[in-house]
């Protein structure tokens, strides 16, 4: 059985999904259906969105009695003026990968583990998964009539090139756990900090 609750929070849509094994809290953009978007919806600048999200989750974690694993996930977008600029950007972020500007459909994923500092002296590994992709976005509109029939789809903007990076920073599944309840907020802050480092510096060890 799964329970889902959602509502507005900090100009975002906050969704809490609960089942017998997991609780997931997701912040997603709120869309104005009266306006045609010119780019994919976002929560704004990552540095701003993560601050209020960390404060919210850290306060909530103080009330959790027992947690075996924690994770922080985010999807970030950075636009480029053109294809050449996009692949140059990827070469800067992916230090150990030589991205051929003539290539296409780039998708790169790596996990660089690190020991947790927040849990010392307990040994806990943190998975630092990042997935990088070169993408092209086209915003299109399709109308739906009262009869249920749809109108032809037409683009509303020119194509936009972007580097898309997905973060999955989580505590290792092999940890015997549960995590110390008193340290849960500090561990979550550490997860977000490690994700922020990747967002700012690229694929670093």
Q: What is the reported pLDDT for 204?
A: 93
Decide if pLDDT at 177 tops 80: no
Decide if pLDDT at 203 tops 60: yes
Look up the pTM and report it: 0.86
**Tens digit of each residue's pLDDT (9 = 90 or more) over 56-72:** 999 999 887 688 999 99
Q: Which of 135, 10, 32 is nearest to 77 (CA)?
A: 135
Q: Which of 161, 173, 169, 159 is nearest to 199 (CA)?
A: 169
Most confident of 28-37, 76-85, 166-175: 166-175
Q: What is the reported pLDDT for 175?
A: 92
């Amino acid at each position: 059985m799964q329970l889902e609750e959602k509502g507005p929070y900090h100009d975002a849509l906050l969704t809490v999904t609960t089942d017998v094994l997991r609780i997931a809290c997701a912040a997603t953009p709120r869309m104005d259906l009266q306006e045609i978007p010119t780019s994919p919806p976002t929560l704004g600048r990552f540095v701003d969105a993560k601050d209020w999200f960390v404060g919210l989750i850290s306060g909530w974690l103080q009330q959790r009695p027992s947690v075996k694993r924690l994770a922080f996930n985010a999807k970030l977008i950075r636009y480029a003026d053109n294809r050449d600029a996009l692949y140059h950007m990827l070469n800067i972020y992916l230090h150990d990968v030589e991205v051929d500007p003539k290539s296409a459909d780039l998708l790169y994923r790596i996990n660089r583990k690190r020991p947790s500092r927040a849990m010392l002296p307990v040994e806990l590994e943190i998975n630092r998964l990042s997935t990088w992709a070169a993408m092209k976005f086209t915003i299109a509109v399709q109308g739906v009539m009262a009869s249920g029939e749809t109108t032809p789809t037409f683009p509303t903007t020119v194509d936009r090139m972007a580097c898309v990076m997905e973060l999955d920073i989580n505590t290792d599944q092999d940890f015997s756990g549960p995590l110390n309840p008193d340290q849960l907020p500090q561990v979550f802050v550490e997860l977000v900090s490690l994700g922020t480092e990747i967002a700012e510096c690229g694929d670093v060890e």
